[in-house]
Structure 1
């Protein structure tokens, strides 16, 4: 009877120890928001492997045709266009260049959207088009959220502007076992992977360089210690049951 009480007490203590404290799961509980450092400005930096769409508009419709070539599919048998024409996309290569109609190779990798628009405007006006209107969109703007969240995955962002909190919302928020104090954001800068640590419990999050995510950023949420232990226990449950069955059988044989 004493041994059974000890066993029950052990399981109760284990359960209490594995409970998550409120201070570990509440967002924005530490530090003041440094308003002077909070900025709503955000610039998209164009990078290698970005697939961009560039639209040139002007009053002279004939002049812009050469710069808005449609992307079409051709039938292999008749060599004729099939389907509706789509807007042309340009892939930024490993050196940061695209091949643009008439203008040729342009290096736009590492530039912001506005810098790219200004570059194109300087090359077009006045030699080709007078007062062009230029619009640029990243067609494959995605972010990825992995780890201890409800819906991990890769998400396409149509408006090319997303905060880390909005990304977490897309992934259904952290599970109760996700560590709020040690999120990791991986970002590629000049061809190198850079890691940032984020604490969702601190208001310093709003001044973090990764508060606004960029295309292809990866957000990873670590599970807490109890979750990792539970996972290890669940993986070994079958082994424990087998060992327990063997021990019970041995005890039964020896006590006859």
Structure 2
């Protein structure tokens, strides 16, 4: 009887080794009980406008009623690739866009070097617009944009590597969705964000369990962010699929043992 109770205890421990509290997003943790359902949560008072950094790539297009006016300002290779001449794989935006140098300057045909580093997308577009207006009396429209939000996902994601979200603003949960739902073996209370700043890099840690994340400055991701999810210690048993298979095998073996013990006990009676 003691042996049977031991097996039941062993089965219970294996079947409940990972608590739901360790895998559930946006919980009402101690200290933030005021954040309930339907509660209005304002964004953190920070500037969410991304400022262009050295080595960023931007797309700059020119348009006018007279197309001959703008041909001299367009990189002809980019024009051909946009028209379908690029072929093959890879990031088309990288080949058709303009890269900022280490000092934040972008070099455009005829216009030369323009310093747009440290500017928002709108401010950079305005600066290029002012530069081209010096050449023509006729209006030439400039469109400058960042090629979506590029970030890198590492660790316990099902789709690791560099990802792209084609939006001007994206939340941390947009990034999690693009990178694949994190496995049950991820430490969701320890998501590291490696973020690039003008003078260097910082490492930030956020807790995906905590509803206060919605009001934090890290609710929105930025271009060039690196997201890293640590694995739990149980990771030594393998990934989530392997762990599930192992538990299934243990349960099957335990069930067989229970059946044998029951049969043996019945014969003795």
With 51-60 and 129-138 compared, the bigger mean Cα shift is at: 129-138
The answer for the alignment partner of 1:119 in structure 2 is: 127
- Distance, in Å, in 1 between the alignment partners of 2:135 and 2:174 is 44
1:180 equivalent among 161, 177, 188 = 188
After TM superposition, list the pairs within 5 Å mapping 1:15-54 onto structure 2: 15=14, 19-30=17-28, 31=32, 32=35, 35-37=41-43, 42-54=48-60
Match of 1:230 in 2: 237
Unmatched 5+ stretches in structure 2: 87-91, 243-269
Cα offsets for 1:169-206 (capped at 9, x unmatched): 11221111111111111111014111121111122222
Give the Cα separation in 2 of the matches to 1:159 and 1:99: 25
- 1: CA distance, partners of 2:75 / 2:188: 48
Corresponding position of 1:133: 141
- Where is the strand percentage greater, Structure 1 or Structure 2? 1
Cα shift at 1:151? 2.1
| Residues 212, 121 of structure 1: alpha-carbon distance in 2 compared, 3 angstrom cutoff | same
Matched position secondary structure for 1:169: helix
**Do the aligned partners of 2:42 and 2:215 also contact (CA within 8 Å) in 1?**
no
Please give the secondary structure, in 2, of the residue aligned with 1:109.
coil
TM-score (norm 1): 0.72
Q: Distance in 2 between matches of 1:99 and 1:210?
A: 33
Q: Is this contact kept in 2: 1:184–1:198, CA < 8 A?
A: yes
Q: 1:62 aligns with which of 65, 68, 82?
A: 68
Q: Secondary structure at the match of 2:77?
A: strand
The TM-score normalised by the length of structure 2 is 0.69
Question: Does structure 2 retain, via aligned residues, the 8 Å contact 1:58–1:129?
Answer: no
The reply on whether 1:221 has 2:218 as its aligned counterpart is no
Q: Distance in 2 between matches of 1:37 and 1:155?
A: 25
